[in-house]
Amino acid sequence: MSERIIYQYGKFDFFKRLIFTLKVNVRLKDCNNIETYLLSNNYLKTLDNKLNLIISDEFSNKIGNSYFLYKGYTPDGSLTYLEKYTIIEGKIEKHIDVLNLDIIVIDIYEKNVCLHSYSKDDHYITGYLIKEETNSRKNKTLIFSNQRIKLNIKNIYKFDVFHDVDDFINKFYV
C-alpha cells in the first residue's frame, strides 16, 4: 500500500516500539506455554489450526489480554468449534465468553486491512491496525495493535463489519 492511502497518526518512537514488542513477546510466550500444556494433555493435536491472539489497549502501550485459540478436526474430517484458552492468575483456563470488539475488514486495492476500535465519518475510517504474522500454515498470530491509521473512504472497494472477535476469526483465519 502506498503512503497516500494510509496516514499514520503518531510516529512511534524507538523505545515505545521496543517496549511494545517486548510485551508482545511475553504474551506470545504465554500462548506457547498454553499450547505446550494442551499438547501434553492431548487436548490439542499437531495438525489442528492454531492462532495466538494478542489484544492491546488502544489508548496506551499496554497489552490487554492474550489468548490461544484452536480448531481441531473430528474423526470424519470436519472442523470442531473454536476453543479459546488464556492464563488467569497463573492458571490456564478455558475462555467461554465471546470477545466483544468492533472490527472492520476493508478491501483496498486487492488487499485487506483490518482495524479494531474504529470510527467512521463521511470521508475517513480511523482505527487501530490488526497485524497478522504467519508462523506456518497451521499457526498464526494476530496482534490487535495500538497503531492508529486513517483511510480515505473513496479508496475503499468494500468493507465487512464484525462485532465480536469470534466471528471475525471464524470467517478469515481458522
CB contact set of 159 (below 8 Å; sequence gap of 6+): 104, 105, 106, 107, 125
Higher pLDDT, 17 or 150: 150
What pLDDT is stored for residue 126 in this prediction? 92
Classify 60 as helix, strand or coil.
coil
pLDDT digits (tens, 9 = 90+) for 124-138: 999 999 999 888 888
Q: Is the pLDDT of residue 9 over 70?
A: no
Phi, psi values for residue 135, rounded to 5° = -85, -40
Contacts of 34 (CB under 8 A, 6+ apart): 68, 85, 86, 87, 92
In this prediction, residue 174 has a pLDDT band, given cuts at 50, 70 and 90, of low
The better pLDDT of the pair 56, 59 is held by 56
Q: How many CA atoms lie within 13 A of 173 on its CB side?
A: 29
Residue 10, by phi and psi: left (phi above 0), alpha (psi -120 to 50) or beta? Answer: beta
Q: Kindly state the DSSP code that residue 77 receives in the 8-state scheme.
A: S
Per residue in 87-103, pLDDT tens? Answer: 999 899 999 988 889 99
3 pLDDT tier (thresholds 50, 70, 90): very low
Predicted TM-score (pTM) of the model is 0.84
- For residues 55 and 84, give the distance between their C-alpha atoms in angstroms, rounded to a whole number: 14
Q: In this predicted structure, what is the pLDDT of residue 1? A: 43
